[in-house]
Structure 1
Amino acid sequence: AEDVINPSDLTAVGQVTPASAADVEQALAAAQPWDAPAAERAAALNKAADLYEENFGELFAILAREAGKSIPDAVAELREAVDFMRYYAANIPPAAPAGVFTCISPWNFPLAIFSGQISAGLACGNAVLAKPAEQTPLIAHRAISLMHEAGVPRSALQLLPGQGSKIGAALTGDARVDGVAFTGSTATAMRIRSTMAETLRPGAPLIAETGGLNAMIVDSTALPEQAVQSIIESAFQSAGQRCSALRCLYLQDDVADGVLTMLKGAMDVLNLGDPWHLNVDSGPVIDAGARAGILAHIDQARAEGRVLKEMSTPQAGTFVGPTLISVTGIGDLEQEIFGPVLHVARFKSQDLDKIINDINATGYGLTFGLHTRIDDRVQHVCDRIHAGNIYVNRNQIGAIVGSQPFGGEGLSGTGPKAGGPNYLARFCAPDRQTSAETWGTTTADLPGETGVPGRPITTSLPGPTGESNRLTTSARPPLLCMGPGATAAASQAKEVIGMGGTAIEAHGMFDLHRLEFIQGIAGVLWWGDEDTGREIERTLAKRQGPILPLIPGHPDRARVLAERHVCVDTTAAGGNAALLGGES
């Protein structure tokens, strides 16, 4: 057994016995899809949600001691976990399950994301093999035990703690697995994609939510007090250990000095310490390795004279003081610093579009924040920024299930959005096509017919008074329709275009090696033999950039259409914003 360490004081709070290779084999052999009516599965998930709420005190204590969660963060995490279970229970699609799903969750939301992935898989009738983060197995064990108590069969839900390099690799590299849900780093997602290409059936879904270099722009019309509160929450809540956290702040020159003065003053009143205490605002980072990496980044900035503000920390535990670092722009950030470090850049009003281009050029697209009171500017920026979740005049963390479906684009994830209307479909069996022999063949090659995308569709989602939540779907880059044969490729393109997407027909003697280098596509449709499908998977896995899927059956909406959510605090005008005009 191995000790589980409390990051606040480095004491042991429990022990875990990591799964062995034999345990993995036994779990795979025993895994059975949950063959029960949808109503029965929904009832069990709702019962599990009830049990989570009934055992709130115990769950809060584990979250604080094992993951360094503050009490407010623990409350929010329990709420999110419960919301996931109830939302998915209420929206089970009438489709067959994929089969066996591996769910790999992170330490920064060890109850909410862990429960969300699992409940989605279970709602659709899958068997789920759950691999929690190495740092947070105790909360995972308690969550699984409550789900079993609620009526989830043990053959449908098994817990396999251990190292990602061993247990995670085993659970994503076995042909008996039919799909993987993963939240974590982009690099790890890429490795999982490569492993799946070699061993899982071609077209097995990978639902990946990964990191981001999230930015916020504050212009000269913003309300400084409101902006500073949003900045503090976005950058330093949860010790900056949220994938949605603010990493690079852009302040317009005209107001930068004043906002920075207020921001430093707000940092001075933050209280760091044992997160179990109610007066604590921010706890430790997750472990010594994380702390060392963050401090090395701060040390380098200090040596270069770029540290603007740095807070002291408690002596015990793995604390990092909230820190401000000056940068020229987001291009200075070579990687995501996953902790309470905020990089600050200044900009001139006329350079707004350049800043947007610089943010988009990172390739990430998870969250983005904007503070402005100019309506035209809100529209201008939202139309151009590449981010899955955009927040206007509020913080950019804490997405609410059903109101703010969460997930990124580009290097920040594959979609569909968790807690949204398209998520559960990815946990269902693909609607497969007729075998390749029924389709005609042709030697036609690129370029082919390109579809015209439909108009974006915007849906208003529920939320509190004073907040607007809009989910917009619009065409992804084209899907490459490879048939086999002209008839199949044309049918594929017709389906994609019919959903409002774009398509390129490429069939017959198309050179698979070109797939590694073709730019500007969102995935590949292939209804042919498995051997060719395997080669397509391997080639897609070699590509640099976003993770692209092979689609072996009918495409679903989430692969044809990109989802983008915009949340606006509509109470933030602070007076008659029309008097400000269109420029600042």
Structure 2
Amino acid sequence: MNALPGIVPYVNEPFTDFSQPENIRAMEAALSKVKAELGREYPLYIGPNTIVTDAKITSINPGNVSEVIGYVSKADQALAEQAMQAALQTFETWKRVPAHERAGYLFKAAALMRERKHEFSALMILEAGKNYVEADVDTAEAIDFMEFYAREMIRLSETNERQPLVKIPGEDNKLTYIPLGVGIVIPPWNFPLAICVGMTTAAIVSGNTVLLKPASTTPVIAHKFVALMREVGLPDGVINFVPGSGAEVGDYLTTHPKTRFISFTGSKEVGLRINRLAAETAPGQIWIKRVVAEMGGKDGVIVDETADLDAAAAAIVASAFGFQGQKCSAGSRAIVVEQVYEQVVEKVLALTAALRVGLPEQNGQVGPVIDETSYNRILAYIEIGKQEGTLLAGGGKVDGNGYYIQPTVFGDVSGKARIMQEEIFGPVLTIAKAKDWQEAIAIYNDTEFGLTGSYFSTSEERIAAALELVHCGNLYINRKCTGALVGVHPFGGFNMSGTDSKAGGYDYLLLFTQAKLTSRKS
């Protein structure tokens, strides 16, 4: 991105190199500090008020379920309405704050988060079950989102390059981007800092105020982010922190007549429900609500017979089992041309067997899944898989005081099988055989989702065809299908994967603004 006046050019936040002993020691020190703070109570933030409720969300460590991360106050409908009124009132002043000033809060917050990077990561290791690398990448992405969206808001406010207007004599015409109003931000638990930060800061830097309803399994890391924004001086009421039940608070706010937009990341089922509720016009509502949704995927890695098989196998395993497969971009399917099928399966199984399952704070490569509900659902899918394919690896629980499941691989799976069609969101990989590369692409496309995909080949002709034919929002050639970088790989998918909102891209802020044309005779 080009430099803006007075603004350093954007560069992605570097990842921590944990092969260096001093970085391991720094993370261990951060873990010790965070563990000393476990079990605290965390309030709601509504306008200028800090509110403690009797009802609490109890956040536990999925890797050690005896350990309570914290007790987070829980909003009800009355408090949600109070937060809505605070957001509405604050919007009237916040929307008039110049874009440079709004962006300044994000720059300050990014700088502070960078200073405390390991502390944020350590909290995610304990609350979300991420290992050191996965947590570090999550925090780096949160910093990236704040830096990127701050710069993008300044650019949108200062130039007409987004929509260059045709000039005519006698008129001065200008297109500006103004905020929408009050939005509901509902982030997921799997990227409890990065996506929470990205969704929230994109909305507020655009001039909106928000009600942030974090995931109930990871509310403490969301609270830590909101506390950081308060620390840098963000005005009261710009972010209102209202953890609560989706059925009670989520539905109430989604259907509220003053809600202008809902920004959601999560499951297809919940996303479709939000979209349906938002489409109904409530009494007193004077706009069509905007829904920005990222709803998951059934992503895959395609391998043809010309591919580098070692690289393909490594990408399959990394895509399938990174963060226990709990990524909407996870490569839960591998589709391999039959000519090299056995070779790829052998390499995948060798790499899978080498994965170490362990406690996240001890930096196990594969940690727990997020909670008991997910644990039971994934184990049920594994039983389905035993009927639909050949169990090649894993297939069961792992001992430990947490929700640990073996990295599991099924082979010889039909493209129509449930485990090839339905999002499992766990450490389960299904491998299908295709007669040729064209059939492999057809099997890949035979899904209701369309988020990420990878195609491994050395044939430029086939790669060119794949670039056109593989139907997903983010397609990668000869690399894994996870690991999108802010500003580098704008992220969002097709079909039931959501609204193709392209988080971390140059058009993302447009989803939180509306274009206003002004014309004046000169």
TM range (shorter): 0.7 to 0.9
| Residue 322 (structure 2) aligned to one of 237, 251, 255 | 237
1:252 lines up with 2:337 in the alignment: yes
Letter in 2 for 1:8: G
| Residue 378 (structure 2) aligned to one of 294, 302, 309 | 294
Asked whether the 8 Å contact 1:215–1:246 carries over to 2, the reply is: yes
Q: SS of the counterpart of 2:360?
A: coil
1:175 lines up with 2:260 in the alignment: no
Letter in 1 for 2:74: P
CA distance in 2, matches of 1:319, 1:263: 21
Partner of 1:119: 201
CA distance in 1, matches of 2:404, 2:410: 18
| Residue 16 (structure 1) aligned to one of 72, 82, 86 | 72
CA distance in 1, matches of 2:134, 2:258: 37
> Per-residue deviation at 1:431?
4.5
After TM superposition, list the pairs within 5 Å mapping 1:250-289 onto structure 2. Answer: 250-278=335-363, 280-289=364-373
Asked whether the 8 Å contact 1:105–1:131 carries over to 2, the reply is: yes
Partner of 1:398: 483
Partner of 2:16: none
1:202–1:432 distance in 2 versus 1, CA, 3 Å:
farther
CA distance in 2, matches of 1:144, 1:214: 32
After TM superposition, list the pairs within 5 Å mapping 1:16-165 onto structure 2. Answer: 16-31=72-87, 32-33=90-91, 34=94, 35-92=96-153, 93-94=156-157, 95-165=177-247
> Per-residue deviation at 1:111?
0.2
> Per-residue deviation at 1:330?
3.0
Partner of 1:578: none
CA distance in 2, matches of 1:218, 1:143: 40
Letter in 2 for 1:20: D
CA distance in 2, matches of 1:331, 1:233: 24
1:201–1:195 distance in 2 versus 1, CA, 3 Å:
farther
Partner of 1:306: 390
Q: SS of the counterpart of 2:355?
A: coil
Deviations 1:527-573, CA, capped at 9 Å, x for gaps: xxxxxxxxxxxxxxxxxxxxxxxxxxxxxxxxxxxxxxxxxxxxxxx
Q: SS of the counterpart of 2:358?
A: coil
Partner of 1:221: 306
Asked whether the 8 Å contact 2:390–2:413 carries over to 1, the reply is: no
CA distance in 1, matches of 2:340, 2:442: 22
Deviations 1:54-112, CA, capped at 9 Å, x for gaps: 22232122101111011101110011001001100001133211011111000000000
Deviations 1:189-225, CA, capped at 9 Å, x for gaps: 1111111112354432111111111121111111121
1:300–1:416 distance in 2 versus 1, CA, 3 Å:
closer
> Per-residue deviation at 1:348?
1.5
> Per-residue deviation at 1:166?
1.5
Partner of 2:425: 338
Flag as ranges the 4+ runs of structure 1 deviating above 6 A.
none
Letter in 2 for 1:3: T
> Per-residue deviation at 1:303?
4.7
Partner of 2:448: 363
Deviations 1:27-78, CA, capped at 9 Å, x for gaps: 0011122231111111110111111112223212210111101110111001
> Per-residue deviation at 1:171?
1.8
Q: SS of the counterpart of 1:330?
A: coil
Q: SS of the counterpart of 1:233?
A: helix
> Per-residue deviation at 1:314?
3.0
1:122–1:163 distance in 2 versus 1, CA, 3 Å:
same
Asked whether the 8 Å contact 1:10–1:316 carries over to 2, the reply is: yes
Letter in 1 for 2:434: F
Partner of 1:526: none
CA distance in 2, matches of 1:151, 1:59: 19
> Per-residue deviation at 1:327?
4.4
CA distance in 2, matches of 1:27, 1:237: 37
CA distance in 1, matches of 2:123, 2:151: 28
CA distance in 1, matches of 2:413, 2:385: 13
Partner of 2:11: none
CA distance in 2, matches of 1:313, 1:431: 57
CA distance in 2, matches of 1:64, 1:284: 11
CA distance in 2, matches of 1:160, 1:432: 35
Letter in 2 for 1:13: I
Letter in 2 for 1:337: I
Q: SS of the counterpart of 2:306?
A: coil
Asked whether the 8 Å contact 2:297–2:329 carries over to 1, the reply is: yes
**Greater shift after overlay, 10-19 or 381-390?**
10-19
Letter in 1 for 2:255: G
Partner of 2:50: none
Partner of 1:206: 291
1:304–1:193 distance in 2 versus 1, CA, 3 Å:
closer
CA distance in 2, matches of 1:13, 1:423: 33
> Per-residue deviation at 1:297?
1.2
Letter in 1 for 2:424: I
Letter in 1 for 2:75: A
Asked whether the 8 Å contact 1:272–1:314 carries over to 2, the reply is: no
CA distance in 1, matches of 2:146, 2:374: 31
Deviations 1:360-397, CA, capped at 9 Å, x for gaps: 33231100111111111111111011100001111110
> Per-residue deviation at 1:159?
0.7
| Residue 7 (structure 1) aligned to one of 62, 67, 81 | 62
TM-score, L = length of structure 2: 0.80
Partner of 1:184: 266
Deviations 1:146-180, CA, capped at 9 Å, x for gaps: 01111221211111111211221122110111111
CA distance in 1, matches of 2:240, 2:234: 10
Asked whether the 8 Å contact 2:302–2:444 carries over to 1, the reply is: no
Asked whether the 8 Å contact 1:221–1:374 carries over to 2, the reply is: yes
Asked whether the 8 Å contact 1:67–1:286 carries over to 2, the reply is: yes
CA distance in 2, matches of 1:328, 1:71: 33
- Matched-pair identity in %: 38
1:319 lines up with 2:393 in the alignment: no
CA distance in 2, matches of 1:355, 1:431: 46
> Per-residue deviation at 1:430?
5.3
1:381 lines up with 2:442 in the alignment: no
Asked whether the 8 Å contact 1:178–1:201 carries over to 2, the reply is: no
CA distance in 1, matches of 2:517, 2:279: 19
CA distance in 2, matches of 1:156, 1:140: 15
What's the Cα RMSD here?
Answer: 1.7
